[in-house]
Chains A and B, each alone.
Chain A
Amino acid sequence: MIRVEGLSVRLGQAQVVDGLDFAVSAGESLALWGQNGAGKTTVIRALLGLVPFSGQVVLAGHQMPGEGRAARAHVGYVPQQLAYYEDMSALGLLRYLAALRAAPHGEPQALLAQVGLADHSAKAVGALSGGMKQRLALAAALLGDPPILLLDEPTASLDAGARSELTALIAGLRAAGKTLLVTTHRLAEVSALADRVLVMEGGRVRASCGAQELEAVLGLPARLHLRASGDMNQAVALLRAEGFTAQVNGRGLQVEAVPGRRAAPVVLLLAAGFAVDDIQIEEGP
């Protein structure tokens, strides 16, 4: 459904994407994972023909940028930074975009209801909250029922509640058979939304793996902060004996987490009779 060969994008003096190859089959979901500046957003923009690129991009059988008009009819896009006509109403905006996509007349209202915005259809886009705007963006991306969705950091600007709502909505679309290309730097989003992951760094693919293997592939350092009851020195000794790096930290423990086995220290402590009351995970070096 999406085929990319030797995709390179140069913006000014910077080589933002450098010889990228990947393919996404129909109904599959691929995540582009990487830190800010890795080139994920530029890949999406190149796929849409918004930035000049070299290499081959084929969307739903249409070569970009030459067949851009036909290709984009098969693609829905949720941008990272939402930029809509703020003075239009939510329904007015969807009607305008629906007309451009030649979508059925009643689709805007139906999609507003699907994303939970039916009661806000008359509100100006500028008056909607961040979470509502993001859901509106998803509704806009679904106009014309495109088989491919390009989602650029779809939950980046949302609070935890709105994030989990939107993730559930997108997971539903994935289950319904849409082909997804999602950019993200959130591990939780990758496992919820993607089948496969390309890890990007400096505009190139550093690794490719299944969504569930990402944490292990990245080997990201993380620390567990456990608040437990009992003799903490004994708990530290127990953990060290099992190969964990652990130390007493105030009223609790700090344990270096092993990617893919973060729950293991907790299981070990519980089995040894310690009461673990609270857990915090601190990611990053």
Chain B
Amino acid sequence: MTPLGVVRLVARKEVRDALRSRWFQLYAAGFAILALALSRLSLGEATGGGLAGFGRTAASLVNLVLLTVPLMGLTLGAGSLAGERERGTLATLLAQPVTRTEVLVGKYLGLGLALGAALAAGFGLAAVFIALGGGGAAAGAYGLLLGLALLLALAMLALGLVISAAARRTTAATGAALFTWLGLVFLGDLGLMGTALTMRLPVATLLLLAVLNPIEAYRIAAIQAITGSVDVLGPAGAYAARTLGDALMPALAGMLVLWTVVPLSVALLIFNRRSIV
């Protein structure tokens, strides 16, 4: 079996397991229902429909993604290796003619595909309502939003795998994933605001610190995708638009890719060195 063949087999099994997992079904169904509810609500409140309706629905979806996608990615990733190690199946798998790198990459791709399918389903349902409300003209921006959400999901999944590779038990991995989620979603934001106020940070530093958090990078990129500018962010947004211009979106997407590549490399490093039992 070639390395790519092993990756494909492990990924396929991971997709199958994820789709059968109650947690994943709950996440996916919850995301789809909330996306549907938010889009109906937003379109119902939007007076003009059309692009205005799209803007409201998209903004609601971004807030939903900001909360739920990191949680899904982090916990699914964290449970992956740690769960198999605890059940003993990881040792069975690694006793086969496979490498740890192939197994980890296969697991990552499989979980990534499953997460992507869940996101696409949620976004797809909301898209139906947007199209019915006359917001079909913004299909490109909507697609970009979905792409950014996928990048965020993959980054969080990679971070979850770092936790999973390092943790001894599933409960510890899940706990660490939840703390990381809290830190990134809530504490990071509050900490940055507090630091900015007390230390009177220059706007460039403030922007850099903000986008170092992948969730903030997603938020800014999503605002750019929906409104076409980041003026709503105040001086930091104006500075970003002035200095980066058209490169702002690629830079933010690049930050999310970096948040995927670096954690995945760290996870590989830990996984390749650790005892499996």
Contact = CB atoms under 8 A, between A and B. Distances in A.
Tell me if chain B binds chain A. yes
B97 interface: yes
Given A100-B98, A101-B97, A79 B91 contact: yes
A100 B9 contact: yes
Interface string B74-108: 00000000000001110111111111000000000
Contacts of A218: none
Contacts of A52: 273-275
Nearest to A74: B97
A268 to B, nearest CB: 50
B1 A99 contact: yes
Nearest to B102: A69
Most chain-A CB neighbours within 10 Å: which of B6, B13, B96, B273? B96
Interface residues of B, number: 23
Contact of B275 (A51, A75, A96): A51
Contact of B9 (A49, A77, A79, A99): A99
B87 A83 contact: yes
A87 B91 contact: no
Given A48-B95, A68-B99, A79-B88, A101 B1 contact: yes
Interface in B2-32: 5-6, 9, 13, 20
A249 interface: no
Interface string A221-241: 000000000000000000000
Given A48-B95, A85-B89, A96-B13, A11 B1 contact: no
Interface in B245-267: none
Contacts of B273: 52
A21 B57 CA distance: 68
B96 A79 contact: no
Contacts of A101: 1, 96-97
A150 B227 CA distance: 63
Nearest to A11: B275
A84 B89 contact: yes
B20 A45 contact: no
Interface string A43-75: 001001111100000000000000011101101
B88 A96 contact: no
Contacts, number: 64
A84 B275 contact: no
A79 B98 CA distance: 17
A69 B103 CA distance: 12
Contacts of A85: 89
B277 interface: yes
Interface in A1-55: 11, 45, 48-52
A45 B91 contact: yes
Contacts of A72: 95-98
Given A81-B88, A83-B89, A101-B1, A50 B96 contact: no
Interface residues of A, number: 27
Given A87-B20, A99-B1, A51 B276 contact: yes
A100 B277 contact: no
B98 A45 contact: no
A72 B276 CA distance: 16
Given A50-B277, A51-B277, A96-B9, A77 B1 contact: no
A187 interface: no
A46 B123 CA distance: 47
Nearest to A10: B275
B94 A49 contact: yes
A11 B275 CA distance: 8
A50 B1 contact: no
Most chain-A CB neighbours within 10 Å: which of B5, B13, B20, B97? B97
Given A11-B275, A96-B13, A99-B1, A50 B98 contact: no
A73 B89 contact: no
B89 A48 contact: no
A79 B97 contact: no
B59 to A, nearest CB: 41
A96 B88 CA distance: 17
B20 A69 contact: no
Interface of A: 11, 45, 48-52, 68-70, 72-73, 75, 77, 79, 81-85, 87, 96-97, 99-102
11 contacts: A50-B275, A69-B97, A72-B96, A72-B97, A83-B88, A83-B92, A85-B89, A96-B9, A100-B1, A100-B6, A100-B98
Given A72-B95, A96-B13, 8 more contacts: A48-B94, A50-B91, A50-B275, A72-B97, A79-B91, A83-B88, A99-B1, A100-B97
